[in-house]
């Protein structure tokens, strides 16, 4: 998205911390998710000073702060920020920062440091960690150490710009305990336009010709297509091309459109396609599991020029933001497009056939998902987790709008869900957010229920309690001769747990009761609600996800 150049304000005296905070504000950020500590006291002093324009949402663990920032970025598509102390504070946030990197999410980490003069000397200062910068560098594409107030505003603006330039992703700024409070003359810059590669007219023409002539075109969407929903919808209709979104690409094309598919039908269609338009997706599952052959031409649209060639040379590579590229493709396509018959009936029939097969195998999961979809409004956000219901949701939860199905990408970090959903709900108070968790994943960040209460965040969380790391347990049963180890869990009474924080908490024993509980929870906009659903072991969904080769066999 482009923003107008607003220029820097006239220089005025301020601390490095004030310069960072003022620059966040000048770039449109309104929240910092944070957990304080002595190295960042002067950052918090600046956050206090600017608290009429930037809210500080404090959490109970740094992973909560970082996942909340991630959730805010995913739900809004805009940059978000979190602040933590160095060493353990930073490391506590690192799984979330890693997940932000894997999801190309624009999250800015503000990380404290030991005294500036002693960085690298191994003196054993409070929270010192060997080569903190080196560790951060492995987790983000852009990081900088702030050493002077005069450089702080510019460093912040550069980090925010890097987060949205090319392939989006997180950035980090470190600042030493004795530098945050140093004063200097600072000019606070406004946002500058994000550089976009020029449209490659000849590549767009080649793509339009290939797609126009294709007999069985298909579109595959990843997270990079989330802001090009209108364009994907138009192209799908023009080409009568099914649109596959699995996990991060879900919701780009409304699930109610018969051309909107997920797994396993998407794999079948991959096996039949002659031209695939792949938008903002790594295509890892397609190349590594489903296979590729000479009969299939791939047209890739990606913000990252290197991504095109990581696995395979595509027929056409288009680099940049998906939206303008697809708009150019839409303008060019009518000159080359074949006459197309509607595939709606065919696709509806094939979807129904797969649905039937799934109902035969994973009925318990599907029934709970149906209950959730029936109560969650069309624009409500569903936050997925690494749990039985989550795996099924990736296959079968209908998604109607972009950025309303948040699934954690290739890290799949157990425990991301609750805290990420809190951030999503905090950043999007206008829509309801429902998080699902297993009993295992929920307790990773369940302490953030205190954050939800403190900041009155009306998130609805459903905990499916099977008393186990159920996914692991089933694998041990089915593949390892029932040698169960490390997969059974002792749990609290989740309803009592929720209530002890002051949350509205209830139990639902079946899909029908879940609907009633959700109705009550979604009506409560004053604070968090927790619904515990006791469940038994669930049937395996893996036969619909890991399906093996279909091309180039």
Ligand X SMILES: Cc1ncc(C[n+]2csc(CCOP(=O)(O)OP(=O)(O)O)c2C)c(N)n1
**Contacts with ligand X, residue ranges (CB under 6 A):** 386-388, 412-414, 438-441, 464, 466, 468-472
Angle between helices 201-213 and 322-332 (to 10 degrees): 60
Residues 147 and 135 sit within 8 Å (Cβ to Cβ): no
**Partner whose binding site includes residue 386, from ligand X, Mg ion, none (CB under 5 to 8 Å by kind):** ligand X
Range list of H helices, 105-260 = 132-137, 149-162, 201-213, 229-239
- Cβ-closest position to ligand X: 438
**Partner whose binding site includes residue 240, from Mg ion, ligand X, none (CB under 5 to 8 Å by kind):** none
Give buried/exposed letters for 191-200 (b at 16+ CB in 10 A, else e).
bbebeeeeeb
Structure tokens at 55: 């809210």
Residues 537 and 474 sit within 8 Å (Cβ to Cβ): yes
Which of 213, 475 has the CB closer to ligand X? 475
Structure tokens at 539: 């049937």
Cα 498 to Cα 248: distance, rounded to the nearest angstrom: 30
Among candidates 81, 82, 14, which has minimal Cα distance to 49?
14
**Partner whose binding site includes residue 230, from Mg ion, ligand X, none (CB under 5 to 8 Å by kind):** none
**Partner whose binding site includes residue 242, from Mg ion, ligand X, none (CB under 5 to 8 Å by kind):** none
Which of 367, 550 has the CB closer to ligand X? 367
Which residue's entry shows tokens 């318990």?
A: 364
Question: Nearest approach, Cβ of 484 to Mg ion (angstroms)?
Answer: 14
**Partner whose binding site includes residue 471, from ligand X, Mg ion, none (CB under 5 to 8 Å by kind):** ligand X
Question: Nearest approach, Cβ of 417 to ligand X (angstroms)?
Answer: 9
Cα 5 to Cα 293: distance, rounded to the nearest angstrom: 47
Cα 541 to Cα 526: distance, rounded to the nearest angstrom: 36
Which of 438, 527 has the CB closer to ligand X? 438
Question: Nearest approach, Cβ of 452 to Mg ion (angstroms)?
Answer: 21
**Partner whose binding site includes residue 67, from Mg ion, ligand X, none (CB under 5 to 8 Å by kind):** none
286's CB contacts (< 8 A; 6+ apart) are 220, 270, 276, 278, 292
Which of 349, 478 has the CB closer to Mg ion? 478
Question: Nearest approach, Cβ of 193 to ligand X (angstroms)?
Answer: 38
Residues 272 and 245 sit within 8 Å (Cβ to Cβ): no
Give buried/exposed letters for 344-366 (b at 16+ CB in 10 A, else e).
eeebeebbeebeeebeeebebbb
**Partner whose binding site includes residue 547, from Mg ion, ligand X, none (CB under 5 to 8 Å by kind):** none
Which of 314, 408 has the CB closer to ligand X? 408
Torsions phi, psi for 215 (to 5 deg): -85, -40
Which of 184, 467 has the CB closer to ligand X? 467
Q: Put the strands of the sheet holding 529-534 in their side by side order.
A: 405-406, 381-383, 433-438, 460-465, 529-534, 504-507
Among candidates 511, 306, 274, which has minimal Cα distance to 392?
511
Which of 391, 501 has the CB closer to ligand X? 391
Question: Nearest approach, Cβ of 349 to Mg ion (angstroms)?
Answer: 36
Which of 100, 386 has the CB closer to ligand X? 386
Which of 212, 364 has the CB closer to Mg ion? 364
Among candidates 306, 299, 340, which has minimal Cα distance to 322?
299
Question: Nearest approach, Cβ of 441 to Mg ion (angstroms)?
Answer: 8
Question: Nearest approach, Cβ of 370 to ligand X (angstroms)?
Answer: 18
Binding site for Mg ion (CB under 5 A): 438-440, 466, 468, 470
Q: Residue 424: which H helix or E strand, with range? A: helix 416-427
Which of 375, 466 has the CB closer to ligand X? 466
Question: Nearest approach, Cβ of 348 to ligand X (angstroms)?
Answer: 31
Cα 50 to Cα 305: distance, rounded to the nearest angstrom: 39
Which of 133, 411 has the CB closer to ligand X? 411
**Partner whose binding site includes residue 299, from Mg ion, ligand X, none (CB under 5 to 8 Å by kind):** none
Question: Nearest approach, Cβ of 459 to ligand X (angstroms)?
Answer: 17
Question: Nearest approach, Cβ of 468 to ligand X (angstroms)?
Answer: 5
Following DSSP, what letter does each residue of 2-69 receive, concatenated? ------PPPPEEEEHHHHHHHHHHHTT--EEEE---GGGHHHHHHHHHTTTTSEEEE-SSHHHHHHHH
Cα 59 to Cα 109: distance, rounded to the nearest angstrom: 15
Question: Nearest approach, Cβ of 127 to Mg ion (angstroms)?
Answer: 34
């Amino acid at each position: 998205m482009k923003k107008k150049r607003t220029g820097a304000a006239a220089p005025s005296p301020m601390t490095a911390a004030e310069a960072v905070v003022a620059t966040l504000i000048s770039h449109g950020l309104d929240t910092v998710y944070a957990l304080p500590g002595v190295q960042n006291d002067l950052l918090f002093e600046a956050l206090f000073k600017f608290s009429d324009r930037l809210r500080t949402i404090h959490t109970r663990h740094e992973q909560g702060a970082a996942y909340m920032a991630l959730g805010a970025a995913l739900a809004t598509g805009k940059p978000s920020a979190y602040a933590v102390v160095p060493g353990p504070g930073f490391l506590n946030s690192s799984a979330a920062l890693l997940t932000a990197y894997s999801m190309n999410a624009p999250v800015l980490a503000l990380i404290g440091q030991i005294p500036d003069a002693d960085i690298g000397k191994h003196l054993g200062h409070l929270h010192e960690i060997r080569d903190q910068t080196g560790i951060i560098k492995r987790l983000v594409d852009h990081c900088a150490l702030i050493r002077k107030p005069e450089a702080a505003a510019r460093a912040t603006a550069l980090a925010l710009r890097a987060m949205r330039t090319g392939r989006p992703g997180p950035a980090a700024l470190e600042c030493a305990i004795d530098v945050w409070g140093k004063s200097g003359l600072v000019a606070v810059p406004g946002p500058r336009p994000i550089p976009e590669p020029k449209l490659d007219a000849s590549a767009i023409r080649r793509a339009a010709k290939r797609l126009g002539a294709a007999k069985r075109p298909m579109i595959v969407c990843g997270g990079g297509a989330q802001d090009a929903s209108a364009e994907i919808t138009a192209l799908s209709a023009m080409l009568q091309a099914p649109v596959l979104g699995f996990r991060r690409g879900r919701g780009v094309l409304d699930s109610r459109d018969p051309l909107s598919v997920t797994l396993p039908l998407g794999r079948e269609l991959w096996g039949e396609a002659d031209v695939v338009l792949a938008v903002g997706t790594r295509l890892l599952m397609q190349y590594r599991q489903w296979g590729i052959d000479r009969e299939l031409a791939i047209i890739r649209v990606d913000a990252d020029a290197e991504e095109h060639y990581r696995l395979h040379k595509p027929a056409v590579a288009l680099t940049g933001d998906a939206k303008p590229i697809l708009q150019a493709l839409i303008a060019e396509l009518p000159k080359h497009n074949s006459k197309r018959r509607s595939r709606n009936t065919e696709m509806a029939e094939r979807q129904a056939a797969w649905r039937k097969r799934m109902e035969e195998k994973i009925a318990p999961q599907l029934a709970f998902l149906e209950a959730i979809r029936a109560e969650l409004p069309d624009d409500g956000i569903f936050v997925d987790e690494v749990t039985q219901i989550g795996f099924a949701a990736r296959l079968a939860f209908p998604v109607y709008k972009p950025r309303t199905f948040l699934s954690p990408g290739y890290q799949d970090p157990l425990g991301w869900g609750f805290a990420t959903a809190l951030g999503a709900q905090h950043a999007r108070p206008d829509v309801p957010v429902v998080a699902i968790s297993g009993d295992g994943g929920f307790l990773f960040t369940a302490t953030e229920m205190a954050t939800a209460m403190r900041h009155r965040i009306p998130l609805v969380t459903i905990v499916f309690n099977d008393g186990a790391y159920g996914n692991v347990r089933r694998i041990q049963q089915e593949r390892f001769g029932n040698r169960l180890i490390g997969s059974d869990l002792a749990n609290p009474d989740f309803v009592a747990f929720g209530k002890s924080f002051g949350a509205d908490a209830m139990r639902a024993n079946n899909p029908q009761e879940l609907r009633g509980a959700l109705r009550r929870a979604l009506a409560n906009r004053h604070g968090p609600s927790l619904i515990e659903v006791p469940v038994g072991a669930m049937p395996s969904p893996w036969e619909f996800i890991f399906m093996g080769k279909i091309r180039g066999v």
